[in-house]
Amino acid sequence: MPIYEYRCEDCKGKTAKLVKGFDAPESIACRECRGENTHRIISSVAFHKSLNSRLQDLDPRYDRMADAAAASTAESDPNRFLKSAIPLDAAED
């Protein structure tokens, strides 16, 4: 069940409400002042984790595995451009 957050326009208080189903009410009674002048705000708990935060949560072993795999590729050689370079006097016009 999603948790929706509401901000009160009168007292600026925030009220969280666990909603059954997915139809969030447009406004609820403010927990602080009991006013009804609330509107739903986007709550962080309503979002799935971003790809970036999921990658940061990965086991550090995955980093080492990725580094090891990358080190064995041709692109890992810092001199790869020099090796494929042709000396100026050998280059055709």
33 binds Zn ion (CB under 5 A): yes
The answer to whether 13 contacts Zn ion (rule: CB under 5 A) is yes
Determine the Cα–Cα distance for residues 36 and 28; give it in Å rounded to an integer: 6
Select 15 or 43, whichever has its Cβ closest to Zn ion: 15
**Using an 8 Å Cβ cutoff, are 13 and 7 in contact?**
yes
| Closer Cβ to Zn ion, 34 or 80, answer by number | 34
Of the listed pieces 31-39, 41-49, 52-60, 69-77, which binds Zn ion according to CB under 5 A? Answer: 31-39
Q: Does 8 bind Zn ion (CB under 5 A)?
A: yes
CA-to-CA dists, residue 6 to 40, 48, 67, 93, angstroms: 4, 19, 45, 71
